[in-house]
Each structure stands twice: as structure tokens, then as C-alpha cells.
Structure 1
Amino acid sequence: MLPSALSDAVGAENVFAGDEDRLRHASGCGYADLARMRMGSLDAAPDAVLMPADAGALRRVLEICKAEGIAVVPFGGGTSVVGGVEPLRGAHSRLISLDLAALREVTVDRRSLTARLGAGLRGPEAEAALGRQGLTLGHFPQSFEYATIGGFAATRSAGQASSGYGRFDALVASIRLLAPAGDLRTLETPHTAAGPALRELVVGSEGVLGVIPDVTVRVRPAPAVRRYEAWMAESFEVGAEIVRALAQGPGLPTIVRVSDEEETQGSLALSGPRGSAGRLFDGYLGLRKRRGGALLIVGFEGDEESVARSRALSVRALRSGGGAYLGQAAGRSWEHGRYQGPYLRDALIGMGAMVETLETSHTWSRLGELHDAVAAAIHASLERQGTPGLVFCHLSHAYADGASLYFTFISRARRGAELEQWAAVKGAACEAIVATGATITHHHAVGRDHAPYMKAEVGETGLELLRAVKERLDPSGIMNPRKLLG
């Protein structure tokens, strides 16, 4: 039984204890979440969902939960694919889901090109509000349609246009945290040398330290021109070298990604009857008497002059690397389907498939090794279980010193043993990532699934330091138990 004080804090109309509301806040959107839902085997659900109308109500809820020992799971769009919003109670017998959907502030400082955005704003809502003033945040992850500003900050999200606009952590000018033990807000200044950046403790904290009610972000004028186009490289290795040249040169596009040979073939197969991109791809392979190739997508956004300048520099690097131009039609096709991956995944799961994604990043010197090791580990694990499958990968989020790799694996699900099958494959992939010295996550976050690998990521001393910060801000351990720090 939850105390009546919680209802008083947010208003009875903002407390939801029905089965449907609790079910909607009982999991995220990862394969394991969806498998549990389909099997009817959810481990737990929140006792109630609370939706505070403002930061004052949110503060009152945290004070009550701290006094009563009630676990709190912050909830934005519910798009976590790493167990980030699972209602894990830890040492607590009661748990609430704290839905931040009502926190919808939009305050724009046009002169400074910043905007304070409420944590509950979904991606399209934030873009629409900024767009009415001729601005953009430029943050477009695959979860864009449902994920929220607070979730972007809490998970260190990276959008598909990060090469041009930056990852979300780079867009954060100031941030606020409401923790059980007190509040924290960083100054709205472009830079500070006043000690370690407290902002970095909050960004990526995944709800384990407190709740982010709003974020002040850096925005830009909305682009007048958007141009997306496709190119083909002889192989994934060659395509990666082209992207490295772009990232280390003066003309990195706003969007750049290269699919390995398997993903290239899979993407063309899933696109249906051979369209212009498919015919150009076939022609490219025929001219070079090759059986494979790697598809590159590059995008340019800005005014006409900046787009023309950036494209000219990029084309030079693309052609120097042997890239073949496939045209804008294929680029527009990618743009049209850029958020469709989760919908296709759900359809495949409904047909009896296991479909999961994972991502990492490494330096250019070890990126090829990482790609091969993870793909081999996934294939081997699938074959050991008698369910050989497909492993796709693409490179995105390019930097001067390296890039991220995003893997998708698909196989027949083992009926009745779906979670065991998934855990074995995911574990094999994670072990391969750690063995190469790569990060356990580039932008999906840690959540529950990756928490066992945090020691390998930050070391024993680093983990102790983070736990000490949590002890100071959340002494009762009520905030999002068993996530990030285990």
C-alpha cells in the first residue's frame, strides 16, 4: 500500500494504479522486454504510476519516497533497450514509476541559441516547438518518435546526425537534477574551468542519482537544405577507410554511415523489388566483377552555400576511396525509413524470430578487429544453440579517432527458451566487446543488461567513485535500483 501523501503531492488525478497503466510502465523496448511481454512472464510491475505536473510536485514525491523507502523508476518514452526502466525493487518492497510526460517547458533564448526543454517532451514535440522559431536541436536517434529530452540526457543519446550536430551530451548547456538528498543545477555558461564538470555526473546517470526535470540545450538555425545520397564502396573495410578520411578531414557530412556487406545485401532484400538503388548496386558489382559491396549513406544539412562546400569536400574523399555514386533516390529512401527499424523488428518477432541490436565504439586502429570479433562471437553462439542466423553491422557516429559500430542479429527464436537464447548471444557479444577494449555501449546506455560490464569499463576505483556519488545523492538507494552500477 502506497502512502496517501503521494496522491496529495501530485493530485489524485495524476496517480494511475490500473493494470494497463502499470503494464505500460513495466518494461522498455528491448528484445528481452518484448519476449517477456509476449510470453506473459513479466517479473514485476510498478505499484502505481505517478505523473507530477511540475518540479515542485516532483520534489515532494522524492521526499516522501525517501522517508518511506519506496523505490522510484523515472520514465520518459519507455524506449530503453537495455533494461533501463525495469521496475526492479532492490531492497525495497514498494516501487513507483515516475512518468515525466507533464514536464513540457519550452523557453528559447534566441540570442544565445539555447533552449530550456522539459524532460517530458518527446523528440517530435521538441523539434516542432523549436521549428516554429526557425530552430532545430538536430538530435534524431532511431527512438526519436517516442523518446524524450530527459531520456536523451539520462542515457547519453547519440542521433543519426551526430557528425553534424554532436551527440546529445555535447548539446547540453546546463542541466538540473532533483535527487533525494538535494538539488543540483549547473550554470548556463558556454564553458567553465571550475573543477570537474558536474554536468558530466548528471548526463548519463540513467536515473540512479535522481530525476532530470529539464535540460538547457544548444540549438541551431533549422537547415534550409537537406541532401541525402547513397554511395557504394568495394567492401566494408574500404568504406570504413573512406569515413575515416572524412572524419579526419575538413568535410565530414552531417550524416555518414556505412553498412557492411551483409547489412547491405539485407537492406536491399528488405526494400522489396529492385528499385533504382538496387539496379545501380547490381551494375556496380557487375562492372567490378565483385560479389559484395558496402553501402554508404551521406547527408548534408545547412544553407545552400555550406551544403555545397561540405559536399564538394566529401565527394573528393569518396571518389579518392573508390566510391561509386548511387544518387539521391537511395538517400531519400533511407531518410524515409530512418525510424522504421523497431517496427520491422516487432513484425519479425511476431513471426517467431529473435531480433536484437547492440552497439559499441573503438579507435580506427582496432575497429576492424572489433567488427570481426563481435560478428564471429554472435555467429558462434547462434550456431551452438542450433539457430544459425544473420549478423548485420553498420558504422556510424564517426570521430577523428574512431567510430561506433551498430550490430543487428536475427535468427529463429527457440520457442520456450527465448530469454536463455538471447542472454547467451548477448553475453557472447558483450564478452567480445570487452576483450577488444571497446566500450560496452556507445549510445544505448548501461541499464540492467550492461551493468555487469561496468567494472571493465571504468575500473574498480571508478566504480567505487560512482557508487560514492550515489550514496551521497541517494543514501536510501531508492533511485532506479540495480541499473548502471549493479
Structure 2
Amino acid sequence: MATETSPLGLPRWNGWGDPALSKELPLAVRALLPALLGRVSRAQPAVSLSDVVLTPSALAAEDLAGFAAIVGDKAIAADAESRIRHSAGRSTPDLLRFRAARQNTPDAVLSPTDHDEVSAVLAYASEHDVAVIPFGGGTSVVGALTPERGRHRAVIALDLRRLSGMLQLDEISGEARFLAGTTGPEAERLLSERGFELGHYPQSFLYATLGGFASARSSGQNSAGNGRFDAMVTALRVATPTGDITLGGPPGSAAGPDLMRLFLGAEGILGVITELSLRVHRMPETRRFEGWTFPDFATGTEALRRVAQLGTGPTVIRLSDEAETGVGLAQHGRVGKALSKGCSAVTVFEGDADIAAERHAQTARVLTAAGGRSTGAGPAEEWAHGRFGAPYLRDALLEHGVFCETLETATVWANISRLKAAITETIKSGFTDRGGKSLVLCHISHVYPTGAALYFTIIGNMHGEGVKTWAPIKSQVNDTILAHGGTISHHHGVGRDHAAWLAREIGEGGIRLLRAVKSEIDPAGIMNPGAVLPLTPAAQND
């Protein structure tokens, strides 16, 4: 499972990733779509970057001079392309909005180089009524990067990617300290030079930053063995509008509440993470791959539950349902081709050769006893080879007028079947009620002793404007998730897309607590207005 650390080209401004890696929709998929979705509407033509119309910047000349005194003239960009590239994340609604000629963008983009510059920018912005949207890799899929002004007179994007590098590696303790703008591939490259790795590989790995992973409480594909990203964080340095905060330190501290957790998952509403210390480990001596097949999703789910609760130790374990297995989205290079009936699963084992072999043997015994059958190393190796390519396929589908979006949740093992069925039915009926058809695919992406995460891919035929058609369906899905014992987000985050549902999950008391903390350290309310916490009526745009 080689880490991809080679430099990538400048991402598409209105799509995913390096344009050189864009994919054509396979002929097999094109042939399959009419049978699955019926007539597909023609895609809305994308506008060229030069034709996009922007609202004039609301920043005054004295604002630009004030920011320039902090970060320098060359670290401020107010040109159209820079503003557009920092105006959204990479959800399907984000990409569909990019097809419009008029775009909502930040008034300027600032690129600080260190913690002190970030602190000074936040202090200036707070004093001069300018909202700030922290920006890392630009991969949010929940509206966390929308340049919302709220009640403020202007808004800037704070691009943190110049805060890049490894500051320290404690090889004895297995802890590394990084600047928060370091991307996933760059962190792995720096660690590998010393024989270490972080081992955090979400779908956004190639572009996302370590600070972004922390801010969204990311969970990578290796989470079964390496844990979630927030569990890897051992210390944080945070710049806020009212001062600096340093949290974390010796392991297992019981010195009051763990305040570091306030910033993990806060998505920039409290401040900007500028440095973070992370748990790292020696690069694995070996990797073992094995694919599995199960007669149905229920059997496979029970098998994964047994593995998770026995703790036999795969680094990766995933299970695709019948629909995802059937169209081949789970395996690189086989999209649109019929696979074997049933459900496919992937396992990967990393570490010391003897320990990996022992864990592999233990897991194989459990999966076999639960009704699984090994399909050899090939399927798992194919998955590992193509695991970062799915967003390119999403873009290809959009170009052909096919709506494609993802969503995720998590619940306890006893509720997996019920929640999955309810979400699937809500999506399908939502499309049907609007004159469309849909294909709903699902896999178990992350496992825990008490439950698992469900990751859905929705492929649909939408008649009319995709964003307006999808919004009410997504709203119904959010209602269904909370009504059936799921979480509003397992690893994508809250952003603006889920903010209206947060109170139903954490309670009004939880919302009051978050607002009280924000009011204390961001009294002007400039940090990412509208993300995580819905804007109050007084904080809405004028």
C-alpha cells in the first residue's frame, strides 16, 4: 500500500485533483447507466474561469495595507482566480455551483508563513470587522469553506499551506511535531526519511493538510489499525482572535477536562491550529493483503463485528454491500463490470512480519467461521492501488449529467441493518418523488468494538438543477439518520451543510456551551461564521 507522495499538478478550479489524472467515464459504465437510471439529462455546461463574474472586493485599501504589514504584499491575493479557488470545498453541490457564471468568493486570500503572522491577522481582522475562513487543502465536502460574511463587512480566506514542515521527531517516544499546513503526502515523505510514518489515509489524503485533518476529526482508511486522526493528536498550538492557546503534553494527563478536544472538530470556528504533535510509528516491515466475499451484507457485517470485538488487528477492513460489489466500484479497474454475487471485503495487515502473519491468520479464522471465503490478495491490492481515484470518477459522471455524491454516518452494531435500510429508502424515495431514479451503494468503512461507519455513494438521474433537487433529499436523509440512531457525521465534519442538525445530536445545552466558548475567545464572531454553529438572526448578512 505505497504512499503517493509525488508532486501533483495544480488542482482543477471546478473539479477534483490534478487535471492530468482526470478520468474518462469507462464505456462499461456508460452502457450501464441507461439501464440503471433511464434517460440522463444533459449536464449544465461548465463556464470557463475567465467568464466567472465576481462581486467587487469589500476590502478597503487600508485593509489591504494593514494585512500587508503583517504578511507582506506577495502573501495577499485579490485576483479573480485566487478568490475563486478559495471559495468552496469539493462536495458535489460545490462543483455544481462552480458551473454558474456568478460566484460568491472571499474578498482576498492571505497566505501567512508562521504562527505569529496568523495571530496578527486574526487580531487585525477582529478589530476591523473582517470574517476569516481558515483554508487548508480545500477538500471539505460539508460546506466548511463557504466564504460566509455573516454580519461582517468583508471576508478573507486564510490559506495555511505555507505553514509546512516537520519541526521535531522524537524517535524514542514516537511523536512528531508539524506545522499545520503540511499536506498528508508531505508529512509521510518527511517521516519516511527517518523510517517513520503517520499512516492516515482518508480519501482527501493527496491534498488535505494535517490541520484540516484535526479540524474535521478525520478518519482514514487505515483506522482499524492506526486509529482516527484525533486519536493521533497529542498536542496543539492554536491562534485565536484573543490570544494563543497551547494544549496537550504528557500522555494520560488528568489535569482537568481535555480542552484540546474543543479544537478537534471545531472546523476553524474557535481559532486556527498552527502546529500539532502527532503519534507516529516505525514504517511497517510488511503488508499483507487479502480479499473476501460473503453471501450477503448481513453475514459480512456480523463477520466484521466479530473481528472488531476480538481485536485480531487488521490495519484495514472494509465491506461493500451487494450494490457496490455488483457494479465494481469497490475494485479499481473493474468499474461497471459485474463481479461475483454477494459482498466483497478488503483486509490489510501491516507491521512486523511475524505479528502481521499472526493477525492475518487470526482474522482469517474469524472471517471463515462467520461465512466468508477468501478471494486472495488480488482484490485487496487492486483496492489499495486505486483508492484515491474515486473523486475523479465522480467528476466524470457529472460531466455526463449524472449526479454522484457521498454521505456517511455511524451507529452501533445492533443498529447497522436498520439504519442502512432507512437511509437507502429515504434516498430512493427522494429521487422517485422528484421524477428521478437512483442507485445507492454502501460500504462499512471504519469499525469499532461497539459499532461501525456506513459510507454511501449515491448515483442519480436528476431532472432540473442538481443542487436544488439534492438539497431537500439530503435534508430528509439527515432527519432519517438522527431518527434512526446515527450520527450526523462520522468523519466529513459538520460545516454549514449539517449545522442545522447539530443541536439534535448534542442537545441545546451542548450548543450553548459551544457558543459560550466561541464568545469568549472569538468575541467578534469572525471565525468561519455559520460553520458548525448556525448563524443567529443577529449574525445574518445585512
Same-fold call, TM cutoff 0.5? yes
Change (3 A) 1:206 1:300: same
Greater than 4 Å deviation, 4+ residue runs: 268-275
Change (3 A) 1:270 1:149: closer
Separation in 2 of the partners of 1:446 and 1:396?
19
Counterpart in 1 of 2:150? 90
Q: Measure how far apart 1:294 and its partner are.
A: 0.7
Alpha-carbon RMSD: 1.5
Deviations 1:40-64 (A, max 9, x none): 343x101100000111111111110
Counterpart in 1 of 2:481? 433
Separation in 1 of the partners of 2:514 and 2:429?
35
* Residue 118 of structure 1, aligned match among 163, 171, 179: 179
Q: Measure how far apart 1:183 and its partner are.
A: 1.4
Say yes or no: does 1:411 pair with 2:472.
Answer: no
Counterpart in 1 of 2:84? 23
Q: Which runs of 5+ in 2 are unaligned?
A: 1-58, 535-542
Counterpart in 1 of 2:164? 104
Separation in 1 of the partners of 2:127 and 2:329?
56
* Residue 388 of structure 2, aligned match among 309, 333, 339: 339
Deviations 1:90-117 (A, max 9, x none): 0012011000011113021111110111
Q: What does 1:53-64 align with in structure 2 at a 5 Å threshold?
A: 53-64=113-124
Separation in 1 of the partners of 2:330 and 2:488?
30
SS in 2 for 1:408: strand
Q: Measure how far apart 1:412 and its partner are.
A: 1.8
Separation in 1 of the partners of 2:468 and 2:246?
42
Counterpart in 2 of 1:481? 529
Conserved 8 A contact 1:164-1:254: yes
* Residue 424 of structure 1, aligned match among 472, 486, 505: 472
Separation in 1 of the partners of 2:68 and 2:433?
52
Separation in 1 of the partners of 2:202 and 2:129?
35
Letter in 1 for 2:271: G
Q: Measure how far apart 1:413 and its partner are.
A: 3.1
Change (3 A) 1:273 1:6: closer
Change (3 A) 1:295 1:18: same
Separation in 2 of the partners of 1:96 and 1:254?
40
Separation in 2 of the partners of 1:414 and 1:48?
36
Deviations 1:192-244 (A, max 9, x none): 10111011001111000000001100000011211222100011111010000
Say yes or no: does 1:45 pair with 2:93.
Answer: no
* Residue 443 of structure 1, aligned match among 488, 491, 496: 491
Q: Measure how far apart 1:250 and its partner are.
A: 3.0
Q: Measure how far apart 1:427 and its partner are.
A: 1.2
Conserved 8 A contact 1:162-1:397: yes
Conserved 8 A contact 2:411-2:453: yes
Q: What does 1:252-331 align with in structure 2 at a 5 Å threshold?
A: 252-267=313-328, 282=340, 292-331=341-380
**TM score, norm. by length of structure 2:** 0.85
SS in 2 for 1:347: helix
Moved more, 183-192 or 325-334: 183-192
SS in 2 for 1:35: helix
Conserved 8 A contact 2:431-2:462: no
Letter in 2 for 1:485: L
Deviations 1:409-442 (A, max 9, x none): 0112334x21111102211211110111211000
Q: What does 1:456-475 align with in structure 2 at a 5 Å threshold?
A: 456-475=504-523
Separation in 1 of the partners of 2:335 and 2:328?
11
SS in 2 for 1:186: strand
Separation in 1 of the partners of 2:334 and 2:456?
25
Say yes or no: does 1:151 pair with 2:212.
Answer: yes
Say yes or no: does 1:129 pair with 2:190.
Answer: yes
Counterpart in 2 of 1:384? 433
Separation in 2 of the partners of 1:98 and 1:367?
39
Conserved 8 A contact 1:250-1:313: no
* Residue 250 of structure 1, aligned match among 295, 311, 325: 311
Q: Measure how far apart 1:396 and its partner are.
A: 1.8
Deviations 1:443-473 (A, max 9, x none): 0000000001001110010110011001011
* Residue 236 of structure 1, aligned match among 297, 303, 316: 297
- Give the share of equivalent positions with the same residue, in percent: 44
Q: Measure how far apart 1:252 and its partner are.
A: 3.1
Count of aligned positions: 472
Deviations 1:328-386 (A, max 9, x none): 11111000111111111011111111111010000011111110000110000011111
Conserved 8 A contact 1:232-1:296: yes
Conserved 8 A contact 2:332-2:382: no
